[in-house]
Structure 1
Amino acid sequence: MEIAENAALVVVDVQKGFEELGFWGQRNNPGADDNIASLIDAWQETGRPVVFVRHDSSNPRSPLRPGYEGNEFKEYVERRRGKEAGAELLLTKTVNSAFLGTPDLDAWLRAAGISQVVVAGIQTNMCVETTARMGGNLGYEVVVAYDATYTFDLEGPFGWRRAAEELAQTSAVSLHGGGFARVVTTQEVLGAVG
């Protein structure tokens, strides 16, 4: 696998509100935060661009709503923001896709001549997957660092419940098998970044 010298790391919604398990439920992949931090470090050490995405929920009950502490980035992400190693973008959104946020991610990437994006963050089957799918639809080479993502148990129609790990795996199969993105491990990405 090759990671371009100007590949952008898109860090999706790594916010304090996702620590409120009473709201979200059971999560998978407890090692995700360490993997996300490793990717940010590698991108900054090599001068590659990093996009920090924040979800500003319009749901007044959501732990991700603006004005509430949960809307803030987790501490390890906040500590890494503002380093001058490479280009950095702060993007906010109210929907699942980072490509429908402010400022315009597609325009920013194209202006910088970036054609490859690596996606990590929260939730695997929600904002990570939607961002990856839309990136693929827009013609980007999308890589998803699977173990640098996590999600939560979820209930759907007909009383169907799915565990977080099952949802994450299903998302990975859909993205990879459907040709939207290449789904890999954090170590594979770090090995290619060099």
Structure 2
Amino acid sequence: MFQAYDPGRTAVLLVDPYNDFLSEGGKIWPRVRPVAEQVGLLDHLRAVVAAARGAGLRVMIVPHRRWEPGDYETWDHPNPTQRGIMERHSFARGTWGGEFHPDFRPRPGDVVAREHWAQSGFANTDLDFQLKQHGISHVVLIGLLANTCIESTGRFAMELGYHVTLVRDATAAFLPEMMHAAHELNGPTFAHAITTTDELTAAFEQAST
């Protein structure tokens, strides 16, 4: 179904575009790579971001906490992902892995939200405030991972009253089963639209004319 996106009220939320996730040599790339290559993740991320900018939509980067020494070590309840980050030092601040992939670095006019500690880009950050200050009502989620940060951010967005779009081939996960759960089982319970990059970019192009 065609979905209309008002460029002045729509933002693309690019979640966790770090080298550790998206680049050869990244700490988590080997786990993401099979699904990422199957869906054409990097090309589709580039296409969505370029189409959004071309149509005058806001691009907001929604980054995970960059690991620093001592993170999570004294917490009462670090989750399994946080324990893994503590061991691997994923997205470590001041390292190449903790830098944004060169194709997805912020440009003038983009907004970089405060870093999220767990999976939702909204929890304990300024993302909701930034969206409201920019008059955004519709959010399009792309990036990583489909069944964790994308899903958690999308669910939270829905709870806050935003229109939520998921993009099947502009995200990835560690296993095909996780992608299936994200888009076929869980996504329909909170997302207002679940689409593909080709459908989305066509809608952006139409919105800008």
* TM-score with structure 2 setting the length: 0.77
User: 2:184 aligns to what?
Assistant: 173
User: 2:163 aligns to what?
Assistant: 141
Structure 1 counterpart of 2:4, one-letter code: E
- Confirm or deny: 8 A CA contact 1:175 1:182 kept in the other structure: no
Misfit runs of 4+, over 3 Å: 21-27, 57-60
- Residue 169 (structure 1) shift: 1.2
Query: Measured at CA, do residues 71 and 169 of structure 1 come closer, stay the same or move farther in structure 2, by a change above 3 Å?
Result: same
Alignment partner of 2:93: what SS? coil
- Residue 25 (structure 1) shift: 6.4
From 131, 139, 159, the equivalent of 1:109 is 131
The number of aligned residues is: 177
Q: After TM superposition, list the pairs within 5 Å mapping 1:1-194 onto structure 2.
A: 1-6=3-8, 7-18=10-21, 19-21=26-28, 24=31, 27-30=34-37, 31-56=40-65, 57=67, 58=71, 59-60=85-86, 61-78=88-105, 81-83=106-108, 87-91=109-113, 92-102=115-125, 104-152=126-174, 164-194=175-205
Sequence identity percentage: 27
Structure 1 counterpart of 2:119, one-letter code: N
- Confirm or deny: 8 A CA contact 2:12 2:141 kept in the other structure: yes
Which whole-Å deviations, capped at 9, do the CAs of 1:162-182 have from their partners, x for residues lacking one? xx1111111112343213342
Query: Measured at CA, do residues 176 and 25 of structure 1 come closer, stay the same or move farther in structure 2, by a change above 3 Å?
Result: closer
**Greater strand proportion:** 1
Alignment partner of 1:29: what SS? helix
Q: RMSD between aligned alpha carbons? A: 1.9
Which whole-Å deviations, capped at 9, do the CAs of 1:56-105 have from their partners, x for residues lacking one? 24433232232332111111112xx214xxx4111222221111254x11
* TM-score with structure 1 setting the length: 0.83
